[in-house]
């Protein structure tokens, strides 16, 4: 994996993953442009940065954020002839997310990510830290010329870091309540989803009202996406998810923990038990936390869909609504 010099296999794999067959959809073609933009951007004379970046980008992932940006662009009236800006923005959004997962895997000791060994696992902590920094700085090089877009994206990135930090603080101080949970996921996940949708819409020259509506749509499906992610962390296996699972309960966080904390079921878990994870997981699976999580996630999706119903009917609007549904119905 230390010799990723040829882009083509990665791009082919991305093409296959994005849609089947890719030429059925304008979005699939546009997403290929996003892949290429990301892979080109992280080229560097410093081999380890290039290789580690392409390793994690080439692993694929759901690409829900760039898809959201592109669909918002088309739903707000953008055309295929004018994809340059939205491609850069979509790549920037995905790379911000990617940088954050590289750093997350250091803090969480995650060894599996997107079905591959994490950067941390392959290159070690020092290079993982620097690769995450590199991805952040390359994003800001990419979007430096974009003025106001730049401010929106920088603010969303700050929110992401604040959300991650608030989460670590709440765990440390054993204050992982439901109120804190919603504040955390608003910052660490939904803010970037909102930025993706707003900026996609902005690139199409949409009205301020449509930009705001699509931003709100993004925020709501971001909340929903994160809640479902937290459910899957409890119920899913590493094979299904392509990443280390069970981390949330082990670390005292996630929807289930917030729910159980507030319902007095998990106040403090016994670190000295043979495997506290197994017994807590059993409690969570037996309880109502996960059902409650799905209910909340569906509520946000409903709000999301209602919020863009005023947009003119289009294939992109239909796909946006389908994206919202898929966020809550997914199994990985």
98 binds its own copies (CB under 8 A): no
Contact 252, 234 (CB under 8 A): no
Residue owning tokens 């995905």: 94
Residue 128: CB minimum distance to its own copies, A: 10
Considering the complex, what minimum distance in angstroms separates the CB of residue 255 from its own copies?
A: 20
In the bound state with its own copies, the residue whose beta carbon lies nearer, of 43 and 279, is 43
Helical segments of the chain, H only = 8-18, 26-41, 47-58, 64-75, 84-107, 119-123, 125-143, 148-172, 178-185, 191-203, 208-235, 238-241, 247-251, 255-262, 276-286, 289-307, 315-329
Does 164 participate in binding its own copies (rule CB under 8 A)? yes
Looking at 161-169, 196-204, 213-221, 270-278, which segment touches its own copies (CB under 8 A)? 161-169
Please report, for residues 24, 26, 191, the alpha-carbon distance to residue 29 in angstroms, rounded to integers and kept in the order given: 9, 5, 26
Kindly tell me which residue out of 9, 16, 43, 145 binds its own copies, with binding defined by CB under 8 A: 145
**Binding test (CB under 8 A) with its own copies, winner from 73, 134, 176, 217:** 134
Block residue for tokens 């230390």: 2
Scanning the structure block, which residue is given the tokens 């920037």? Answer: 92
Query: What whole-number distance in Å separates Cα of residue 282 and Cα of residue 155?
Result: 39
Question: Which of 88, 110, 89, 92 has its CA nearest to residue 101?
Answer: 110
Per CB under 8 A, 158 contacts its own copies: yes
Site size toward its own copies (CB under 8 A) is 41
- Complex with its own copies: residue 8 or 173, whichever CB lies closer: 173
Report if residue 253 touches its own copies, rule: CB under 8 A: no
Q: Cβ 170 to its own copies, closest distance in Å?
A: 10
Establish if 313 lies at the interface with its own copies (CB under 8 A).
no
Say how far apart CA 72 and CA 56 lie, in whole Å.
26
Complete DSSP assignment for 202-267: HHTT--HHHHHHHHHHHHHHHHHHHHHHHHHHHH--HHHHSS--SHHHHHT-SHHHHHHHHTTS-S
Asked if 152 and 89 count as a contact pair (C-beta separation under 8 A), the reply is no
Q: Taking CB under 8 A as the rule, does residue 138 contact its own copies?
A: yes
Output the CA angle 101-136-8, nearest 5 degrees: 75
Under the binding rule (CB under 8 A), the answer on residue 57 touching its own copies is: no
User: Judged by CB, which is closer to its own copies: 191, or 228?
Assistant: 191
The contact mask relative to its own copies for 169-188 (x = CB under 8 A, - = no) is: x-------------------
Among 151, 175, 237, 309, binds its own copies (CB under 8 A): 151
- Interface with its own copies includes 168 (CB under 8 A)? yes
127 binds its own copies (CB under 8 A): yes
Rounded to a whole number of angstroms, the minimum distance from the CB of residue 310 to its own copies is 30
User: Residues interacting with its own copies, by CB under 8 A?
Assistant: 44-49, 103, 106-107, 125-127, 129-134, 136-138, 140-141, 144-145, 147-148, 150-151, 154-155, 157-158, 160-162, 164-166, 168-169
């Amino acid at each position: 994996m230390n010799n990723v010099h040829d882009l083509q296999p990665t791009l082919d794999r991305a093409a296959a993953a994005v849609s089947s067959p890719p030429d059925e959809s304008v979005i699939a073609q546009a997403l290929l442009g996003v892949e290429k933009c990301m892979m080109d951007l992280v080229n560097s004379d410093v081999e380890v940065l290039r290789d580690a970046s392409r390793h994690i980008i080439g692993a694929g992932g759901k690409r829900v954020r760039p898809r959201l940006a592109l669909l918002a662009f088309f739903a707000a009236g953008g055309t295929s002839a004018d994809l340059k800006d939205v491609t850069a923005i979509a790549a920037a959004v995905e790379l911000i997310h990617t940088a954050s997962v590289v750093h997350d895997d250091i803090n969480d000791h995650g060894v599996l990510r997107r079905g591959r060994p994490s950067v941390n696992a392959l290159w070690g902590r020092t290079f993982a830290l620097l690769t995450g920094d590199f991805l952040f700085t390359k994003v800001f090089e990419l979007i430096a010329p974009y003025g106001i877009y730049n401010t929106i994206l920088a603010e969303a990135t700050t929110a992401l870091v604040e959300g991650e930090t608030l989460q670590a603080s709440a765990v440390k101080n054993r204050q992982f309540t439901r109120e804190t949970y919603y504040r955390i996921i608003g910052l660490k996940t939904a803010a970037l989803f909102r930025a993706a949708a707003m900026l996609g819409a902005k690139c199409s020259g949409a009205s301020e009202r449509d930009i705001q509506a699509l931003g709100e749509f993004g925020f709501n499906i971001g909340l929903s996406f994160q809640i479902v992610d937290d459910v899957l962390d409890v119920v899913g296996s590493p094979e299904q998810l392509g990443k280390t699972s069970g981390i949330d309960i082990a670390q005292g966080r996630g929807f289930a923990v917030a729910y159980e904390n507030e319902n007095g079921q998990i106040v403090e878990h016994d670190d000295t038990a043979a495997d506290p994870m197994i017994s807590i997981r059993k409690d969570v699976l037996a309880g109502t936390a996960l059902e409650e999580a799905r209910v909340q996630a569906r509520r946000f999706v409903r709000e999301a869909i209602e919020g863009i119903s005023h947009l003119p009917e289009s294939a992109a609007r239909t796909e946006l609504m389908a994206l919202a549904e898929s966020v809550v119905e997914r199994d990985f």
